């Protein structure tokens, strides 16, 4: 049994930080007895919560049985027991925290995006490498059950040559103008000056999903929009929306079997009539699949129906009936937790972990290229970062 590994959790008092990183990842790992290493032994986790608000930290720690918390990040970084620093704070503050952790020689793990502009994302990646510290960025969607099923289908050659991908993401986020329909996302998401915007948020996700499943993204054409001009903030006051809240993007993907075209719509102003908040259709010469966050349906070539265009009669085909659900053949753990365990193994026993801050910078690169494409109304090619 290894000694427990101290983990600084910075800025996890928000919804995502609390639910996915603290409760469903670190505390779930603690509950199961630790992370299993390659030799079968376990390493237990010992979290310490850090942030600016002592009231929020105390309440969060007491609620979830976390013994350690502090508003003094310097002291937490100075403690040799704490080997890992994790940051889920605002993107605008991330650089300072990464610099502090790198100077303290801590392994660094952080949420995406790592920065709001490409030069800063690259600088932080290089900073960690030059400091000689292990580092990683959250790319949780790679371990969603639905996308893991897609990965299996690709590995088994189900699709033949993949031709195209269509992604639909988003839902209606209430503006807050009606007191009976309060907003379900924080107001900073809709203020560019606070680091908001759906392009910087979601294109970072789509970059690592597309790169890891289908091949490197080589070009993007993107149109952004701010569909809703005003929303209500947490104090009940109206504020102008200065960030993009919808994004319509097309990507060119370099694949050994031939180029793939991907189209992704991302919006906080769309009402859902699909199987999940994220659905992704993959069409290939031998078959197609539609994946959500947890489920996946397939239609092979041999079971593809033959529609005939005739708008003068009711559609005789029930198209959904021609799809077969991919069964669960294993237990799927929380996606964030899976990557946390991989990072801890990386720190403790040097297990492979390719999702470092330089890899995370690719997401920022795609977002920056998307914004440039929108502004200049043209395709933008992506060049290798290294």
| Tens digits of residue pLDDT in 133-191 | 999 999 999 999 999 999 999 999 999 999 999 999 999 999 999 999 999 999 999 99
CATH class of 5-140+335-354: alpha beta
Task: Please determine, looking at this structure, whether the domain spanning 142-333+366-376 carries the CATH number 3.30.360.10.
Answer: yes
Q: Phi and psi for 195 in degrees, rounded to 5?
A: 90, 10
The stretch 104-115 carries a mean pLDDT of 97
- Reply yes or no on whether the pLDDT at 386 is more than 90: no
Task: Write the pLDDT tens digit of every residue in 23-71.
Answer: 999 999 999 999 999 999 999 999 999 999 999 999 999 999 999 999 9
Percent of the chain surpassing pLDDT 70: 100
Helix axis angle, 357-376 relative to 198-213, nearest 10°?
Answer: 120
The stretch 225-232 carries a mean pLDDT of 98
Kindly indicate the confidence band of residue 260, based on its pLDDT and cuts at 50, 70 and 90: very high
The stretch 265-279 carries a mean pLDDT of 97
Task: Provide the 10 A C-beta neighbour count for residue 219.
Answer: 16
Q: Are 353 and 338 in contact (CB under 8 A)?
A: no
Mean pLDDT estimate for the chain: 97
- Reply yes or no on whether the pLDDT at 347 is more than 70: yes
Question: CA-to-CA distance for 184 and 39, rounded, in angstroms?
Answer: 44
pLDDT given at position 1: 63
The model carries a pTM of 0.95
pLDDT given at position 326: 98
Tell me if residue 285 falls in helix, strand or coil: coil
- Domain map of the chain by residue range? 5-140+335-354, 142-333+366-376
């Amino acid at each position: 049994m290894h000694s427990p590994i101290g983990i600084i959790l910075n800025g996890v008092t928000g919804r995502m930080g609390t639910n996915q990183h603290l409760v469903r990842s670190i505390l779930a790992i603690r509950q199961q007895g630790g992370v299993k290493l390659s030799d079968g032994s376990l390493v237990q986790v010992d979290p310490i919560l850090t942030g600016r608000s002592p009231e929020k930290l105390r309440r969060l720690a007491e609620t979830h049985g976390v013994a350690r918390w502090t508003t003094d990040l310097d002291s937490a970084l100075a403690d040799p027991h704490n080997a890992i620093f994790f940051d889920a704070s605002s993107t605008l503050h991330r650089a300072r925290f990464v610099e502090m952790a790198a100077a303290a020689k801590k392994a660094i793990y952080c949420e995406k995006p790592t920065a709001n502009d490409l030069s800063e994302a690259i600088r932080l990646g290089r900073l960690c490498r030059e400091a000689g510290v292990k580092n990683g960025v959250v790319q949780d969607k790679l371990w969603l059950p639905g996308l893991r099923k897609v990965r299996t289908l690709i590995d088994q050659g189900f699709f033949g040559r993949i031709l195209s991908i269509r992604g639909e993401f988003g839902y209606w986020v209430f503006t807050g103008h009606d007191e009976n329909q309060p907003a379900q996302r924080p107001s900073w998401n809709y203020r560019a000056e606070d680091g908001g915007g759906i392009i910087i948020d979601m294109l970072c996700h789509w970059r690592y999903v597309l790169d890891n499943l289908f091949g490197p993204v080589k070009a993007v054409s993107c149109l952004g929009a701010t569909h809703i001009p005003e929303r209500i903030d947490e104090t009940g006051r109206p504020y102008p929306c200065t960030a993009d809240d919808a994004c319509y993007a097309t990507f060119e993907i370099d694949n050994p079997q031939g180029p793939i075209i991907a189209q992704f719509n991302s919006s906080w102003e769309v009402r859902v009539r699909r199987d999940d908040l994220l659905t992704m259709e993959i069409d290939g010469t031998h078959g197609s699949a539609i994946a959500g966050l947890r489920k996946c349906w397939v239609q092979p070539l041999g079971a593809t129906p033959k529609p005939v265009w005739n708008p003068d009669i009711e559609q005789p085909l029930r198209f959904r009936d021609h799809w077969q659900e991919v069964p669960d053949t294993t237990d799927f753990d929380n996606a964030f937790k899976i990557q946390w365990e991989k990072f801890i193994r990386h720190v403790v026993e040097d297990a492979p972990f390719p999702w470092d801050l330089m890899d995370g910078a690719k997401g920022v690169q795609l977002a920056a290229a998307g914004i440039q494409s929108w502004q200049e109304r043209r395709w933008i090619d992506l060049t290798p970062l290294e």
